[in-house]
Amino acid sequence: MKNKLITLVVAALILAGCNTTQKPHENTQTQKTKYDVPAGEHMMQAVLWQELSAEHRALCYQAFNTAKLRLNIILSKKIHRAKPLAIVTDIDESILDNSPFNGKLIQENKEYTGKEWSEWVKLEKATAIPGAVEFLQYAKKRGVEVFYITNRSIKQQQETMENLRKLGFPYIDNKHFLMKENTSSKKSRREKVRETHDVVMLIGDNLADFNHLFDNQSTKNRNLIVDSLRNEFGSKYIMLPNPMYGDWETKGLYDGNYHWTEHQRDSIRHAKLISY
What pLDDT digit, counting tens, does each position of 189-247 carry?
A: 999 999 999 999 999 999 999 999 999 999 999 999 999 999 999 999 999 999 999 99
- Helix H, strand E, coil C: the string for 7-70 is HHHHHHHHHHHHHHCCCHHHCHHHHHHHHCCCCCHHHHHHHHHHHHCHHHHHHHHHHHHHHHHH
Q: What is the mean pLDDT of residues 37-49?
A: 89
Return the percent helix, strand and coil in the chain, to nearest 5: 55, 10, 30
| β-sheet bridge partners, residue 203 | 89, 238
| Domain 43-245: CATH class, spelled out | alpha beta
The two beta strands, 127-128 and 96-97, are: antiparallel
Q: Which among 89, 84, 67 is positioned nearest to 194, based on CA atoms?
A: 84
- Give the pLDDT score at 41: 86
Model confidence over 90-142: pLDDT tens digits?
A: 999 999 999 999 999 999 999 899 999 999 999 999 999 999 999 999 999 99
Higher pLDDT among residues 39 and 171, named by residue: 171
* Spatial distance between the Cα atoms of 104 and 97, rounded to a whole number of angstroms: 14
Instruction: Domain ranges for the chain, please list them.
Output: 43-245
* Spatial distance between the Cα atoms of 80 and 15, rounded to a whole number of angstroms: 93
Q: Which among 95, 68, 78 is positioned nearest to 176, based on CA atoms?
A: 95
- Give the pLDDT score at 167: 98
* Cβ neighbours for 24, distance < 8 A, ≥ 6 positions apart: 30
* Spatial distance between the Cα atoms of 203 and 67, rounded to a whole number of angstroms: 9
- Give the pLDDT score at 9: 42
- Give the pLDDT score at 27: 41
